[in-house]
Amino acid sequence: MFFQYLSKGYVASCSFTVEIIMNLKILLVGGGGREHALAWKIAQSPWVEKLYCAPGNPGIAGIAECVDIAAGDLEALEVFAVEKKIDLTVIGPEAPLVAGLADRLRAAGQAVFGPSASAAAIEGSKAFMKDLLQRHHIPTAGYQVFSQPKAALAYIRKQKIPIVVKASGLASGKGAMVCHSLKEAEEAVHRAMIAREFGAAGQEVVVEEFLTGEEVSFMAFADGERLLPLASAQDHKAIGEGDTGPNTGGMGAYSPAPIVTPGLHERIMSEIMEPVMRAMTMEGRPYRGLLYAGLMIDGDLLKVLEFNARFGDPETQPLLMRMRSDIVPHLLASASGTLAGMTIDWDPRPAVCVVMAAGGYPGSYAGNLPITGLQSVPPHGDVQVFHAGTRFDGGQVVTAGGRVLGVTGMGETITRARDVTYDVVHRIHWQDVYFRRDIAHRAIAREVS
C-alpha cells in the first residue's frame, strides 16, 4: 500500500521510502471527541513522527501538539500546513469541509483526508443530498424542499403526522425536528425559517416523511472511486432516555450494531454506498474521505436518513477503540486514491461510548465548570475518556461545550462494555452533569434475548 501511495509521486525511491514514511507530519483539524479519538489512534501509528492538532483540546494536548488555530480559520490552517510541510491533513469536522478547506489545501499541493466542498455538500445541503438520491433512485424518505415558510406550511397541512422538518444546512445535529402534531410542525418551520434558530442553515427546509425503524450509522473510507467500509455502529441522537426529546449531536454510541447482519451489510453497500459514490462521480463531485450514511432499517426496508462528510461523533470513539489496524495507511490511501486491496482488522469485542454533557444541552448551558474525577480514572487499556467540550483554566480542566466528554469502553459482551464504561462515568463529575443511563439498550436487549 505504501508503495502504491508513494508511486502517486510522494517519493520515487523505495530505499528512501521507509525513512520518509516513518517520519510523517500530520495535522488534525478539530477539537471534539471525534478528534480526540482520531488523535489517540493516529498517535499510535509507527509512521507518524509529529502530530499537530488545531485547535485540539486538553485531552488531545496529552498526545499531540495543539496549535491555537480555529477549525474555521481556513487561511491560517493553509499557512500552517504549508509552513510546517505537513504530509497529511485530516479534517475532522464538517464546517471546514463544507467551507472548502480540503480544496484550498489540495490547491496548495497538500495531501488531505476529507472531501472537497462540492462533495461535502452531501452533508452541507440536505436539499442537495435528497435531490441527488432522488435523481439516482437511491431509497430515502419522501420529501419536498422549501425556501418560503408559507409554502412549507401549506404542504405540511396536507401531509400525515408525524412529519419531519429539517434545516437544510449545517446545524450541529440539531436541525432535524421530528414533529408529532401539526402545531409542532408549524413551530419547527417557524424556528428554522423565521426565528432562524439554526442561522443560515434554515434558509431552506426539507420536509420529510416520518420513517419508523431502527437507525444505523454506516461509515466507509472513500478514495474517489472505491469504498472500504468500517464496522457498523449505532448512536443515540435524542437527549432523553428511551430516545426521547430533542435531537443532539449524539449522546452515546456503540459498535458493532447487532442489527447489521452480513446480509444487511452487503445490501447497504450495494443499494446505498456504492450507488452514491457512482452518483457523486457522475455529477462531477468525486468523493474522498469518510462517507457516513445515517440509515433507517425497518424489516427489509432500508432508507437513507442523512449523509455526513466526516467521521460520526460519537460513533468514531467506539469504532476506533475496536480498530486494530493502523489508521494512518487508510487515511493516506483515501487521500491518494489507493484504497484497492486494503482491509481493516477489528477487535471482535463490542465498545460503548457514553457522552457526558453539560446540564441544559442541547438548549443553553453553563460553561467553565471544574471537572473532578478525571485523575481517578484507572489506567485501563479498555476504557478511554475522550475530551469533547473541555478547556484548561489554569491547571484545571473545565467544561467548555455541550458535549463535554465521551467515556468509551470495551468488553467481551456489550453488557460488559456498557458496565466498564459507566463505572468510569460515575467517577467523573461537575455541576449539573448530564448523561443518559440507557446507552446501548437496543443492543443489550438483543444480547440478553
By CB under 6 A, residue 92 contacts ligand GLY:
no
Rounded CA separation 406/94 (Å): 19
Q: Which is nearer to ligand AMP, 94 or 208 (CB)?
A: 208
Q: Is 294 in the site for ligand AMP (CB under 6 A)?
A: yes
Which of 90, 91, 167, 176 is the binder for ligand AMP (CB under 6 A)? 176
Q: Does 315 bind ligand GLY (CB under 6 A)?
A: yes
In 69-148, alpha helices (H): 74-83, 94-98, 101-107, 117-124, 126-135
The CB-of-290 to ligand GLY minimum distance in angstroms stands at 11
Using the rule CB under 6 A, is 402 a contact of ligand GLY? no
Single out the residue of 114, 115, 250, 402 in contact with ligand GLY (rule: CB under 6 A): 250
Print burial letters for 381-400: b (CB count within 10 Å at least 16), e (below 16). ebbbbbbbbbbeeeeebbbb
Residue type at position 427:
R
Among 87, 204, 208, 235, binds ligand GLY (CB under 6 A): 235
H/E run at residue 2: helix 2-5
Of residues 6, 164, 207, 264, which one binds ligand AMP by CB under 6 A? 164
Cell numbers describing residue 212: 419508523
Which of 308, 336, 338, 408: binder of ligand GLY (CB under 6 A)?
308
Q: Which region among 261-269, 306-314, 363-371, 389-397 touches ligand GLY (by CB under 6 A)?
A: 306-314
Q: Which is nearer to ligand AMP, 159 or 415 (CB)?
A: 159
- The CB-side HSE value for 42 (13 A sphere, CA atoms) comes to 34
Q: Is the dihedral of CA 298, 304, 306, 312 positive or negative?
A: positive
DSSP β-ladder status, 214-223 and 288-298: antiparallel
Closer CB to ligand AMP, 224 or 250, in the complex: 250
Contact 408, 219 (CB under 8 A): no
Q: Which stretch, 67-75, 130-138, 202-210, 357-365, contacts ligand AMP (CB under 6 A)?
A: 202-210
- Residue pair 428/407 in contact (Cβ under 8 Å)? The answer is yes
Considering only residues 137 to 176 of the shown chain, the ones binding ligand GLY according to CB under 6 A are 173
The contact set with ligand AMP (CB under 6 A) reads: 141, 164, 166, 176, 178, 208-211, 215, 237, 247, 294, 305-306
